Structure 1
Amino acid sequence: MSLDLLSMANPGVDGLMPYQPGKPTEELERELGISDIVKLASNENPLGLSPRARQAIEAATAELCRYPDANGYYLKQKLAQKLNCDSDQITLGNGSNEVLEILFRTFVGIGDEVIFDAHAFIVYQLLTQSCGATAVKTAAKEWGHDLDAMLAAVTERTKLICIANPNNPTGTFLAPRQLAEFMARVPERVLVVLDEAYYEYLKADQRADSIGWLTQYPNLMVSRTFSKAYGLAGLRVGYLVASTDITDLLNRVREPFNNNSLALAAAEAVLDDADYLAEGIALNEREMARLLAYFDQRGIRYIPSVANFITIEVGAAGEIYDALLKKGVIVRPIAGYGMPSHLRVSIGLESENSRFMDALDEILA
Structure 2
Amino acid sequence: MSRADSAQAATPEHHVRLHANENPLGASSLAQKLCQSLPALLSEYPDGSYKALREAIGERWNVEPEQLVVGSGTDELIDIAMRSLLKPGSRMVALEHSFIMYKLRADLLGVNYYEIFCDPQGDYATALQRAMENKPDVLVLVNPSNPLGGYMTPQTLLALVAEVPQSTTLIIDEVYAEFTPDRESSAGMQLVKQRQNSICLRSFSKSYGIAGLRLGWAYTSTDLVPLLQARRAPYNVSAFSALAGEYVLEDSTHLDRTTAHCLAWGEELVSLFAEHGISARSQYVNFVFVDFADRQRCENMHRHLHDAGFLTSHLANYGLESCLRISFGNQEQMTRLDQVLRNKLAEQEPCPAGEAL
Post-superposition Cα deviations, 1:206-263, rounded to whole Å, max 9, x if no partner, equal 9534323323210211000000001110001001011222011101111111110110
Q: Secondary structure at the match of 2:325?
A: strand
Decide whether aligned partners of structure 1 residues 133 and 247 sit closer, same or farther in structure 2, where only a CA change above 3 A counts: same
- Residue 33 (structure 2) pairs with residue 19 (structure 1): no
Q: Secondary structure at the match of 1:211?
A: helix
1:106 to 77, 84, 93: 84
Give the TM-score normalised by structure 2: 0.89
Amino acid at match of 1:179: L
Post-superposition Cα deviations, 1:143-193, rounded to whole Å, max 9, x if no partner, equal 657343233332575210011000000110112222112221001000010
8 Å CA contact 2:71–2:215 kept in 1: the answer is yes
8 Å CA contact 1:28–1:325 kept in 2: the answer is no
Post-superposition Cα deviations, 1:43-91, rounded to whole Å, max 9, x if no partner, equal 1111112111121254234331111121111000111122222211001
Alignment of 1:227-242 (within 5 A): 227-242=205-220
Decide whether aligned partners of structure 1 residues 300 and 61 sit closer, same or farther in structure 2, where only a CA change above 3 A counts: farther
Aligned residues: 342
8 Å CA contact 2:175–2:202 kept in 1: the answer is yes
Amino acid at match of 2:30: R
8 Å CA contact 1:143–1:172 kept in 2: the answer is no
Distance, in Å, in 1 between the alignment partners of 2:27 and 2:39 is 16
Distance, in Å, in 2 between the alignment partners of 1:180 and 1:288 is 26
Distance, in Å, in 2 between the alignment partners of 1:158 and 1:285 is 35
8 Å CA contact 1:160–1:192 kept in 2: the answer is yes
Distance, in Å, in 2 between the alignment partners of 1:206 and 1:333 is 33
Distance, in Å, in 2 between the alignment partners of 1:198 and 1:90 is 18
- Residue 121 (structure 2) pairs with residue 137 (structure 1): no
Deviation at 1:355, TM superposition (A): 2.4
Q: Secondary structure at the match of 1:64?
A: helix
- Residue 347 (structure 2) pairs with residue 343 (structure 1): no
Q: Secondary structure at the match of 1:68?
A: coil
Give the aligned partner of residue 285 of structure 2: 307
- Residue 309 (structure 2) pairs with residue 328 (structure 1): yes
Amino acid at match of 2:245: A
Deviation at 1:128, TM superposition (A): 1.3
Give the aligned partner of residue 97 of structure 1: 75
RMSD: 2.1
1:171 to 149, 156, 163: 149
8 Å CA contact 1:151–1:186 kept in 2: the answer is no
8 Å CA contact 1:42–1:346 kept in 2: the answer is yes
Post-superposition Cα deviations, 1:335-365, rounded to whole Å, max 9, x if no partner, equal 1212111101112222212222333344442
Amino acid at match of 2:308: K
Give the aligned partner of residue 3 of structure 1: none
Distance, in Å, in 2 between the alignment partners of 1:228 and 1:263 is 15
Give the aligned partner of residue 15 of structure 1: none
8 Å CA contact 1:115–1:153 kept in 2: the answer is yes
- Residue 262 (structure 2) pairs with residue 284 (structure 1): yes
Amino acid at match of 2:63: C
1:246 to 221, 224, 233: 224
- Residue 152 (structure 2) pairs with residue 152 (structure 1): no
8 Å CA contact 1:23–1:41 kept in 2: the answer is no
- Residue 188 (structure 2) pairs with residue 210 (structure 1): yes
Q: Secondary structure at the match of 1:158?
A: coil
Decide whether aligned partners of structure 1 residues 324 and 167 sit closer, same or farther in structure 2, where only a CA change above 3 A counts: same
- How much identity, in percent, do the aligned residues show? 27
Distance, in Å, in 2 between the alignment partners of 1:156 and 1:142 is 22
Q: Secondary structure at the match of 1:28?
A: coil
Give the aligned partner of residue 352 of structure 2: none
8 Å CA contact 1:199–1:207 kept in 2: the answer is no
Amino acid at match of 2:232: R
Distance, in Å, in 2 between the alignment partners of 1:69 and 1:59 is 15
Amino acid at match of 1:37: H
Give the TM-score normalised by structure 1: 0.87
Give the aligned partner of residue 37 of structure 2: 59
